[in-house]
Structure 1
Amino acid sequence: MPKAVLMDHDGAIDDLLSQLLVLTMPDVDLIGVTVTPADCYIEPALESTYKLLQLMGKEQIPLGRGDYYGINAFPSEWRARPEIINALPMLINLPKAPDPYTYLSAPDLIIDRLTNAPGNVTMLMTGPCSNLVLALEKAPELAAKLEEVVWMAGAFNVSGNVQTFQHDGSAEWNVLWDPISTKKLLELELPLTFIPLDVTNHVPVTKAFLSTLATQIDYNLSNLTGQFWALTIDTIPGYYYTYFMWDILATSYLAMPEQFKTEVVKAKVSTRPPNAGQTYLDDAGYSVKIATDVNVEYFYEYLLTQFKR
């Protein structure tokens, strides 16, 4: 029986790639998608999300609109990327997406999907955790319906990827956007698996990978994902900022958990500058699972196979 998965993403290129990857998984039943206005502007991001569902013949999957804005905003240049995605040749002429303000709010859709799921649900989060926390604050009894929460977030034994004012660089962006909700999430003590920078740092978007992917250009998904990833080569705000397969790696965990090394640790999160959003190990913290390593070669081959459709 396919695994029921509810996905919450924040509209960036790697989030949209992750949504496509989920839709290629035969053992996954995607029961809903919610979008957080973090690394995106919400209207074009919902349009991108809907267009990708259309492309895969899955437009019946319900969408939820995040209307909570976090504490520390992502750079506006990053947030504008869905506008470019929507203009790509394979997407620009697809039928118009619904009015984004007709969607349920993201927390309400999460509540609806968990309530009506016949069994337990895996939650995949590739953006901040705010929508899930807001949903469980309204309906705390639904925490029991969560089989596992897989979250691309955090940096435990490595440096963060935040380069901004009044910050020491120790945090990862999905946590920094709303460290208060991250603290609340840890306090809920859910079956939470972090896919942090500790492991995503092993899987950069390399030109060698893109070159191999381009040899599959006759396959629609290889063609489209190659265009998505090509947009990451000049990642703003600086050429020195390497684009990694953050969300894609977290998503692949659904299909190949045995290819990851994980460990159970006790962790906390800082909510104040100069290290707001830093996730750190602490014996007095909350029990979570973190991924520390992955079979890199297997992962890249898995992507090439999944997008050869």
Structure 2
Amino acid sequence: MEIFQGLSAFPITPADEDGVVDAEGVMGLSARLAAAGVDTIGLLGSTGTYAYLTRTERRRAIQAAMKSVGGTTPLIVGVGALRTDEAQNLARDAQFEGASALLLAPVSYTPLTEDEVFAHYAAVASATSLPLCIYNNPSTTHFTFSPALLGRLAGVANIKAVKMPLPGAMPIASELDVLRAGPAGRLAIGYSGDWGAAEALLAGADAWYSVVAGFLPEISMQMVRAARDADRQEVSRINGLLEPLWGLFRQFGSLRVAYAAVNALGLSQAAPPKPILPLSSADRQRTVEALAHAGLG
């Protein structure tokens, strides 16, 4: 299977209040995902709080994950940074530590133009030999990739995929048709936004970049397998089990809910990096109830 296909599970990166990564915690979470058979692990994505970690701590997280799953489950490592040279160095670190692929968001303070984003991606893609996935995440970066820009980037060596947000009014199948009809169709096209995963998988998206799979990998794999079998009824059934979690994701953002779920499942007691605050006790209880609805607890 190609690296940017199937289920990519995005775990949290447990760390202490000073931002020092809990290597044992990373190893445990990674091993659990590998044992569940996820296709790839998305390390240091938004759920992995890459933007809150230093270069040293990001490298510590990669080393820990590789020690746990190296040679069994490929790692797609996030390398987003404000400066192009910093992102290049993070990409080189990821390759040196054994990552299989890179994920790059256009992190910025000053809003970026399309030409600036193109130059940034071309420079980072040239820093290593690893395949790179474009991270189109306007909710955090406040930059949206146009089909034309995706088409330009599809011609850059090493850029092989795009991680798309859920579209607005347009059905995912229609967006896929538009993208695949143009130059962007050379990219593997996957989706994040877990509450749209059922639609994306059944529409034929190449990958599901999943937050929920970072702590519920088994049921996530069940949905992926059902979609591969075109079993719409089973996909709908599993999606219904996860619907309470989707509601929490939409209300609070998936990051806060992921930490609450990981805590409730006894996988880690890490808290999100400040200034992000944990959910209230009432909403943590709602998370427990959502996990129970999915058959877990």
| TM-score, with structure 2 as normaliser | 0.33
**Which is helix-richer, 1 or 2?**
2
**Which is strand-richer, 1 or 2?**
1
